[in-house]
Amino acid sequence: MIDTEKTSHKLIGSAFLVDIRSPDAPTERSEEHLAELEKLVETLGITVAGRQTATLRHPKPRLLMGQGKAAEIKDAAENAGAEAIVFDWELSPSQQKNWEKLTGKPVVDRREIILDIFAARATSKEAALQVELARMHHMLPRLANAWTHLSRQKGGAKGTRGEGEKQIEVDRRLARDRIARLRKELRNIGKRRRLGRKKRTRASVTDVAIVGYTNAGKSSLLNALAGSDAKVEDKLFATLDPTTRQTSIMGLNILLTDTVGFVRKLPHSLVETFKSTLEEAALADFVILVLDVSEPYLDEHEEVSISVLHELGVDTSNMITVLNKIDLLDTDARDAALAKRPGAVPVSARSSEGLDALKSMIAERVSGSPPPEVFEIPPQDHDLLELACKTGRVISLQFDDDGKAVMTAVVPWESRNLLAQHRVDKHSTDNIQELQTT
């Protein structure tokens, strides 16, 4: 039977990248896609020898494109010294075979690269089973091409078949049997997880899922919020298994779960396969969407993340959006990012900037009401004092000789966003908890 453990990255030292774009698609978008594909292949230790964009009006069934453009890409890959070609497009089994025949090189698509990354990252039994299941689904329609070297017999008795045809049938049967066993094992693991979730529900613990694009800093945020030591790497898909940590935020018992990262064109087989893992997000009380605000393609990463959440059936109406790595931006870039996402929380998981505001917002979601906070408001900003009085609940208010107001108040998040620059950060959560009980 074909070896499902073999991954393409073991066979490739250098690759030539190809993006497919429509005539009306902006050039910048193609560059963006190639840049991400480059990150993906480099994650597997593959060197990028070169890259090219092919503009197509209508994909052709044999090679996606015409013979002339295909020959141009073949020559470019050879001149670059690439050992393989990687498409940022999902190739059909026959297209993959035709390209390999044309170029004499291994040809893989984006989906196969992502599968290889997942295979390399899987450490737990569940992740390994999930990856194997996705790979089996990927390879099943390609089995017919694996035995073309065994010619079919011609002539002889009626119904006689060649060795290749017999082996294909055997491989397909074995593959389907293996898929059935993998699904059964994953269902059993899912049952055990659901039992654990029921126990947490009975214990009145709030589940919060941390989600987002791969490498956005989800694990770093988990560590910053929970004071834990979850694995943090500057790599794509460093986390495959859900990592859960229990913590207390403003006196509230909370379970934070870090989930597998999203990516553009995440293969549907992986979404389906990892649903048992990603259901931690779907079944959480609410989710925290982490965005890397320093990422040049932030808008698309946000769009992809929300799209995957909707595909999983996650309710995003109560979602907290976190703009992570805010310390990497200047003031103008910060203001622009926040203006496009009103209500988002600017945070640096590395420097702890903005963590107090995020904790307050989490506590507000959990308890149903925002916690008290202390603000120092100078005379020139007394319009904000009026805003707090109108929209929130003032617990105490004092003025010093210079007219500066020191206010302890419960204000909704929209108002707190405007008052953020006047928040007294040194005011500890312990003191806030005392205010809540008095």
Q: Does residue 140 lie within any of the structural domains?
A: yes
Q: Does residue 40 lie within any of the structural domains?
A: yes
Lowest mean pLDDT among 1-10, 19-28, 338-347, 389-398: 1-10
Q: What is the mean pLDDT of the chain?
A: 79
Q: Does residue 2 lie within any of the structural domains?
A: no
Distance (Å, whole) CA 25 – CA 101:
30
Q: Coil, helix or strand for 80?
A: coil
433 and 328 within one domain: no
Q: Does residue 344 lie within any of the structural domains?
A: yes
Phi/psi for 257 (5° steps) reads: -125, 125
Distance (Å, whole) CA 272 – CA 308:
11
What value, to the nearest 5°, has the Cα angle with vertex 179 and ends 173 and 180? 90
Distances, alpha carbon 110 to alpha carbons 68, 290, 409, in Å: 23, 24, 52
Confidence grade of residue 436 (pLDDT, cut at 50, 70, 90) = very low
Length reported for the chain: 438
Q: What is the pLDDT of residue 62?
A: 92
Count of alpha carbons within 13 angstroms of residue 221, beta-carbon side: 33
Q: Does residue 199 lie within any of the structural domains?
A: no
pLDDT of residue 191 exceeding 50: yes
Average pLDDT for 84-106? 92
Helix %, strand %, coil % for the chain, to 5?
Answer: 50, 20, 30
CA-wise closest residue to 219 among 349, 107, 412: 349
109 and 126 within one domain: no
What value, to the nearest 5°, has the Cα angle with vertex 64 and ends 58 and 66? 80
305 and 246 within one domain: yes
364 and 320 within one domain: yes
Helical packing angle, 275-282 and 163-202, nearest 10°: 30
308 and 266 within one domain: yes
Q: Does residue 192 lie within any of the structural domains?
A: no
Per the structure, the count of domains in the chain is 4
382 and 363 within one domain: no
Boundaries of domain holding 435: 370-438
15 strand-pairing partners: 48, 84
pLDDT of residue 273 exceeding 50: yes
Average pLDDT for 60-72? 92
160 and 87 within one domain: no
Average pLDDT for 194-214? 71
Domain end: 313, 338, 368, which one?
368
Q: Does residue 198 lie within any of the structural domains?
A: no
- The CATH number covering residue 37 comes to 3.40.50.11060
- The CATH number covering residue 211 comes to 3.40.50.300
Q: What is the signed CA dihedral for 56, 60, 61, 65, rounded to 10 degrees?
A: -70
93 and 143 within one domain: no
292 and 244 within one domain: yes
CA-wise closest residue to 262 among 70, 36, 10: 36
More confident residue, 322 or 431: 322
Q: Does residue 209 lie within any of the structural domains?
A: yes
pLDDT tens profile 352-369 = 999 988 998 888 888 776
Global confidence as pTM: 0.65
179 and 44 within one domain: no
Alpha-carbon 108 to chain mean position: 22
